[in-house]
Every structure is written in structure tokens, then in C-alpha cells.
Amino acid sequence: MTDMTGSDSGGAPRARTRGDPGPIGGSLMSAVPALAFLGALFVVPLGFLLSFAFLTIERGDIVSGLPTLRHFFETLTDDLFWIVAWRSFWVGVVSTILCVVFAYPVAWVYSELKGAWRPIVLVLVVAPLLTSAVVRTYAWIVILGGRYGLINSLLIDLGLIGRPLRILNTDIAVIIGMVQIHLPFMILPLISVLDGRDRAREEASLALGASRIVTFFRVTLPLSVPGIAAGASLVFALSYTNFIIPQLLGGGNYTTLALQVYEFIIVILDWTEGAVRATLLLLSCFAIVLLINKLGAWYTRWLEAGR
């Protein structure tokens, strides 16, 4: 960052002449406060987080000064870690797939709608983003929970079941919560891809006699893969690192990697173990997001090459 600041006068002269100070607000100086802020309070703290994974810390004090890989080794050879990591991955993948299934029709219908319906759909999609995650998770406790929850009251009143179903505190409740809470993050990128799409190829396909369904699967869907990839990487990252939903809807002993990080740091106060798991969570999350984006890009390139 220091060399960026230093290049203020050096790097810019090609466009600047004495009489023209450039567009208003276009100096590098105006970005310096934000850069300094993020440097001091984002980059440096992140360095602390990563380095704590290599140190031994008890109750906020460094016990041994020498960096060690021991904590990573211990975690990675722990069977329980792999069970929890696999569950986190599985929850993330299932939530992402279900989000695509439920979000795609919304975005597609939006792109086909005209007039007054469009802002209504957009409000329904955006409004939940403005309510807090706790409130939205709590709503699912009300709906899925206990004998008097919405689902159980309804099913019992209809005579479909005799005893209340146990949905809350299971995988199903966690997945339902994840999908519903992250759905807008899938719908919005899909809307931006589908709504602005060039319909010439679809019209050509229809004119050549293909049915609407065939046209959808052969033309529209493949062309919207970049939107699916963008939404999927967002939803996966959000679901994989969410610890509030597993905590509230999964019950006391439903553990994911993200929830373990929270518990190690805030409840057990084992900061080293928390830092190790946070680092592993972050790295695996980035790797999977990168993979999703690469797959999307490969598919699009393959599609272009095939035409």
C-alpha cells in the first residue's frame, strides 16, 4: 500500500497538465483514508487471525512464542473435524442446489412479466434482505417448531398426522432455513442475466420449429449459466459460513464448521483452535467458490466453442 501512496505524483502525469486538474474528486488522495482504514483494520487484523492459528494462546495470552504447525496437524487428524467439515460442505451444496431450483423460476417469470407485476416481484425479493437473519430464522422456529407450530397444528387439524412431526432440530430445518434466507442472493444475479438477455437465439429456435420447452433447455438455460455460477458461489459461501441458522434451527448438538469456530472462540475461549478452524473454513470456502466460478467459465467457453 505504501508504494501506491508514493506513486500519487509519479504515476499520474500522462493525463494531467498544469491547467487541467482532472475531473472533480479524481485524485488518489481521496482514496487514502479508506485505504488506510482497511489496511489498519482489515489487513492487519486478518494477519493476526491467521498467525494465531500457528501460536498457542490461552485466554488471550500467547503461551509459546514459536510458530508451529502442530495445531493444524492435530485438527486435520481429528476424525470429528472431518465429520463436521463434511456436514458443513453437504449443507452448503444442498442449499445451493435447492436455491437454484427455487430461484430460477422466479427470475425467469420476472423476465417474462410486464408492467406493474415487475416492481411487486422485486419488492418481494428484496424486502427480506432488509430484515435481520435472526428474525427470519425465528420465523422458521414458529413455523416448524413443537406441537403448536404452524406445520404441526395444520397437519394435526387436517387429521393427516396423529403426533407432531419432529422437523425443528434436524437437517431438514437447517436446510429449509438456509434456502429461504439465501434465496434472494440467487434470484438477483439470475434476474440480471435473464432480464437483459438477447432473445434473438430463442426466437430463431422457435422459428425453426423447436418447442418452447426444448428452446428453454437448449437455449435459455445454457445462456444463463454465468448467472447460476454467480448466484451459486454467493449462496454456497453464505451457507457454508453461516453459524446462526444451524445454531437456532439445528438444536443444541447440530454442529457445523462455522458454528465450531464460534464456539471455540466465544464459549470455550480456545482461540488457537478457533483460529485454526476459521483458517481452514476460509481456505476451503475460497477453493470451492473458485471451483464454481471456473466450472461456470469453462461451460460458457465450451458452449461458445460448440456454436
Partner 1 sequence: MKRSAADNVGLAVMVAIAAFSLLALVGPSLVVIGISFTERQYISFPPVGFTLEWYAAIFENQQLIDAAKTSLVLAASVMATCLALGMPAAFSITRGRYGGRQTLSAFLLAPQMMPGMVIGIAMLFFGSFFAFRQSLLMMILGLTVFCLPFVVRMLMARLALIDPALEEASLNLGASRSQTLKRVTLPQLLPGTLAAAAFAFIEAFDNLTVVLFTASPRTRPLSVELYQLVQFDSSPLVAAISALEIGLAFLIVLVLSRTVGLSRLGD
Span 6-25, contacts to partner 1 by CB under 8 A: 7-8, 11-12, 14-16, 21-25
Which listed residue (206, 221, 269, 295) binds partner 1 by CB under 8 A? Answer: 206
In order of 123, 198, 219, the CA distances from 212 in angstroms are 29, 16, 10
Cell numbers describing residue 162: 396423529
Applying CB under 8 A, the site for partner 1 has a residue count of 102
Task: For residue 253, give the H/E element and its range.
Answer: none
Residue 165 as a binder of partner 1 (CB under 8 A): the answer is no
How far is residue 75's CA from residue 72's CA, in Å, rounded to a whole number? 5
The three three-digit cell numbers of residue 284, written as one number: 476451503
The interface region with partner 1, picked from 79-87, 88-96, 204-212, 222-230 by CB under 8 A, is: 204-212
Binding-site member from 127, 161, 291, 303 for partner 1 (CB under 8 A):
127
In angstroms, rounded to a whole number, what is the distance separating the alpha carbons of residues 253 and 83? 13
With respect to partner 1, which residue has the nearer C-beta, 228 or 238? 238
Residue 94 CB, shortest distance to partner 1, in Å, is 16
Tell me, what DSSP letter sits at residue 199? -
Residues 276-305 interacting with partner 1 (rule: CB under 8 A): 278, 282, 285-286
For partner 1, the binding residues in 210-269 under the rule CB under 8 A are: 211-213, 216, 237-238, 241, 243-244, 247-248, 258, 261-262, 265-266
Give the Cα separation of 284 and 237 in Å (integer): 10
- Residues 179 and 246: their CA atoms lie apart, in Å, by 12
From residue 249, alpha-carbon distances to 87, 131, 199 in Å are 15, 18, 43
Beta carbon nearer to partner 1, 87 or 240 = 240
Is the separation of the CB atoms in 111 and 251 below 8 Å?
Answer: no
Binders in 173-192 for partner 1, by CB under 8 A: 180, 183-184, 187-188, 191-192
Q: Between 31 and 70, how does the x/- string for binding to partner 1 read (CB under 8 A)? A: x-xxx-xx--xx-xxx-xx--x-------x----------
